[in-house]
Structure 1
Amino acid sequence: MSGRVVLVVGASSGIGLAAAVAFAARGDAVVLVSRSGDALDAAEKACRAVAVAAVDVIADDIGDPGGAGRIVGQTLDRHGRIDVVVHTATTMGYGTVEKMPSDVFTSVVDTAIHGTLHLAQAVLPVMRRQRTGVFIGVNSLLGSITVPQMGAYSTAKWGQRAVLRTLQQETRDEPGVHVCIVSPGSINTPIYDQAANYTGRAARPPVPVLSPERVAAAIVRLAGRPRRNVSVPVGPANPLVIAGFRFLPWLYDVLVGPLFRLAALTGKTVPPTTGTVFEPHPAAERTHGRWPATR
């Protein structure tokens, strides 16, 4: 399955960077996209260190309504086709719905939902013309549950999941085109330090924490053997947490607040910050966060 053209959006950090390196190591031509041109330089070097095919970079913002068209157009100009799209671009925000500034909340939601919308509208017609292609959206455990003080991110991921599930239904008429969803739990990436935060305390991923390479491996497997109408969970706790949310909501609601404060917030106090919601922080973008992966 080598030799494909793989477009990775959000490729300068975390899961996106891990996936880009994994595809490059398999012999696929990779096109790396991020709004941070400086961070893309490091991502390009990481891919070229393992690549046997082309590595290209495009600095653009998927949140810009015209960005997706430019990204897809440049990829087609360079390679003539797009076989796989991996959409990982996201921002995160911590804070109650009441206290988070509305523009921060809206931007977190827009990046996930409208970014997915723009990219799908630009690339799925290309895949239809080709009669083949795989669109992989990286969603989250929080696309299936809600958690206090993570309302913006949950809203973003629930909306993104709705877009992706609808696309799965609407592409059934083209058997060669697949829309897949990957739903990670806690992953050791820099997003927790990059998030907007209005809780007063620094954030961390709850255990068990998986490596971004685990998610990248799931993405690579889906690209080779896509499964329609399936959301692929990545994380041993995901099914249990989702079951509690759906079938024992009264118990879930009693426990989730205290558990969140214990497992997802540290004792370190931090001032309010918009994080990377409105602009990237290139120096902080890398594959791994500062928390050791347990699995």
Structure 2
Amino acid sequence: MHEPGPGRSETVVVTGASSGIGRDTALRYASRHARLVLASRSRETLQTVANECLAAGAAAVLVQATDIAESDQVQRLFDTATARFGQLDIVIQCAAITAFSRFEDLPVAVFDSIVRTNLLGSANVARCALVHFQGTGTGHLVLIGSLLGTAAAPYQSAYVVSKFGLNGLVRLLRQENQHHRGIRVHGVYPGPVDTPVYQTAANYFGRAPRVPPTAVSPETIVAKIVRATGRRRSSERQVGWMNRPAILAYRLIPSLYDAAIGPFLRAVAFTSGPTESNSGNVYTAPPADITAPVINEAGRPAS
């Protein structure tokens, strides 16, 4: 089990903390009385999550609006976190965006933005985390990938491309950090998860996405994240009851998988009614003032 040291709460950085898996991850570590650093593009939403974390038992919370696709903002996040809390023990990268569309119908700028956030953004977070961990000699880095980074599926081309890249990033980071005995790199790969992503995603498909019946709860993913950060070794885990059957079909009977996956998704993952094209949350920008005060145990700004 990872221990932060006698008399000190563990310090946990969560990116993509404003909703979904990131929010639930922050709340779980809050219940463990961790000191939290919460990041996403929305300062206002982060403040709400910070208050929830304090109510759940967090020792302290720092919020900072951060677009992980921008490397300078990620560096500022880590500089601010270490200036306030010193050593960082766990870094969990949950931030991701997606779009539903056939590949050729997806605007180039939307495709590029998704890949930039999901893949290059994850690389930005990983780089800062590993540099910090190499300085302290210890730490857990968790990157949230997807089943769609192992088994491709239609209508989310940019997301699939970014998550395939992320799986490769996790593996090579594990390889490069084998000699750092105190540094662990974990990949957690969920299947469908019941989160707000289906409502906030960009959509150029003509039909609205919906939570598929195969989706698991965010709490299921959070449990695997917490378990990973208790391990003494790096790890990779598929999460979801349909992951392994889907991967086996993808690898062993590819022609059948390719023929079936499109009709299956059109039947279970989209509503029948039409919807207008929109860019969803792809271009949501962080506010001009990208910092917010540390909140102490009493819920007041710390001095």
Question: Identity over the aligned pairs, expressed in percent?
Answer: 36
2:139 aligned residue? 133
Q: TM-score, normalised by structure 1?
A: 0.92
Q: TM-score, normalised by structure 2?
A: 0.90
Question: Is the Cα contact below 8 Å between 1:34 and 1:58 reproduced in 2?
Answer: yes
CA distance in 1, matches of 2:211, 2:243: 14
Question: Is the Cα contact below 8 Å between 1:196 and 1:277 reproduced in 2?
Answer: yes
1:277 aligned residue? 282
Question: Is the Cα contact below 8 Å between 1:137 and 1:180 reproduced in 2?
Answer: yes
> What secondary structure is seen at the aligned counterpart in 1 of 2:45?
helix
1:255 aligned residue? 260
Question: Is the Cα contact below 8 Å between 1:104 and 1:277 reproduced in 2?
Answer: yes
Question: Is the Cα contact below 8 Å between 2:100 and 2:202 reproduced in 1?
Answer: yes
1:291 aligned residue? none
One-letter identity of the residue aligned with 1:10 = G
CA distance in 1, matches of 2:125, 2:257: 35
> What secondary structure is seen at the aligned counterpart in 2 of 1:183?
strand
> What secondary structure is seen at the aligned counterpart in 2 of 1:208?
coil
CA distance in 1, matches of 2:138, 2:112: 34
> What secondary structure is seen at the aligned counterpart in 1 of 2:134?
helix
Runs of 4+ in 1 over 6 A off after TM superposition: none
Matching of residues 88-107 of structure 1 within 5 Å: 88-107=94-113
Question: Is the Cα contact below 8 Å between 1:180 and 1:226 reproduced in 2?
Answer: no
Question: Is the Cα contact below 8 Å between 1:134 and 1:226 reproduced in 2?
Answer: no
CA distance in 2, matches of 1:281, 1:65: 14
> What secondary structure is seen at the aligned counterpart in 2 of 1:63?
coil
1:245 aligned residue? 250
RMSD: 1.5
> What secondary structure is seen at the aligned counterpart in 2 of 1:18?
helix
Q: Cα distance 1:280–1:142, how it changes in 2: closer, same or farther (>3 A)?
A: farther
Is residue 157 of structure 1 aligned with residue 124 of structure 2? no
Question: Is the Cα contact below 8 Å between 1:7 and 1:32 reproduced in 2?
Answer: yes
Q: Pick from 206, 210, 213: which aligns with 2:219? A: 213
Q: Deviations over 1:273-295 (max 9, x none)?
A: 1000110699xxxxxxxxxxxxx
Matching of residues 45-84 of structure 1 within 5 Å: 45-84=51-90
Larger C-alpha radius of gyration, 1 or 2? 2
1:30 aligned residue? 36
CA distance in 1, matches of 2:124, 2:247: 29
1:196 aligned residue? 202
Question: Is the Cα contact below 8 Å between 1:188 and 1:209 reproduced in 2?
Answer: yes
CA distance in 2, matches of 1:137, 1:274: 25
Q: Any gaps of 5 or more consecutive residues in structure 2?
A: 288-303
1:287 aligned residue? none
Q: Deviations over 1:92-130 (max 9, x none)?
A: 111011110011011111101111111112120110111
Q: How far 1:227 moved relative to its partner?
A: 3.8
Which range moved further: 14-23 or 273-282? 273-282
Q: Deviations over 1:178-220 (max 9, x none)?
A: 1100011111110011111111111013222211111111111
One-letter identity of the residue aligned with 1:113 = L
Q: Cα distance 1:82–1:115, how it changes in 2: closer, same or farther (>3 A)?
A: same
